[in-house]
A and B are shown apart, each in its own frame.
Chain A
């Protein structure tokens, strides 16, 4: 990462190597627990999913903002999180805010309050898809789908 930021300037490695090692050490010391393992195919699928939905989300909100009739119907839904552990939850909560129509507002235990720009669509199932995609990245099995709806 240092090489990228210094744009391949090898002379800067004298300062870069020690500071990178210190930064990596500090972030390992500060991060809670062990990071979950990452599945490469899951990650690639997730990145593709994220990019497609970023474009859709951007276009969606841009059109809503520009149309004279302002076609929004906002509301909130409560979503019961199935994904573990906490570090992945934080990632999920942040991802949700960047994807079409959803905005994470409040996380309380297992319950996430999501603000929705247009609650006429299939909101809960969209959130479930994001959660499943993210679970694939970290090889996480979600809890049984029977108790998933809140």
Chain B
């Protein structure tokens, strides 16, 4: 009984750690990428995966199917909100006349 619990705890924390890694990487991208569009890439993709992993870790912790389903709903809702917000930011940046950064422009 103890072995199974330890294994589940290890899986749980591994999922948190992986999730935290992607949030961190997304934030590093936010700081390092050159313009608003590339920063949006960094946020949407890394947070999509990071939040998914954290939700999976929490689902393992809860050990309950109904809570796991609730976490799945939360994840999907955040994805829908995130991608919509991302589109709106990109769209308003575009209509404000912000040109995407390119390698060629730098050279």
Contact = CB atoms under 8 A, between A and B. Distances in A.
Nearest to A58: B49
Range for the number of chain B residues in contact with chain A: 35 or more
Contacts of A8: 66
Contacts of A60: 45
B5 interface: no
B49 A55 contact: yes
Contacts of B40: 97, 103, 115
B10 interface: no
Contact of B37 (A7, A93, A115): A115
B14 interface: no
Interface string B34-60: 110110111011101110100000000
Contact of A74 (B28, B46, B48, B101): B101
A26 interface: no
A106 B94 contact: yes
Interface string A49-66: 000001101111111111
A57 B44 CA distance: 9
A117 B22 contact: no
Contacts of B38: 72, 74, 115, 117
A78 interface: no
Interface residues of A, number: 39
B67 to A, nearest CB: 6
A114 B100 CA distance: 11
Interface of A: 1, 3-5, 7-8, 54-55, 57-66, 70, 72-76, 93-95, 97-101, 103-106, 113, 115, 117
Interface of B: 21-22, 25-26, 28-29, 32-35, 37-38, 40-42, 44-46, 48-50, 52, 64, 66-67, 69-70, 73, 79-80, 82-84, 86-87, 90-91, 93-94, 100-103
Given A66-B25, A113-B94, 20 more contacts: A4-B69, A4-B73, A57-B49, A61-B25, A63-B25, A65-B26, A65-B33, A65-B46, A72-B33, A74-B100, A94-B84, A97-B40, A97-B44, A97-B86, A98-B83, A104-B87, A105-B90, A105-B93, A105-B94, A115-B90
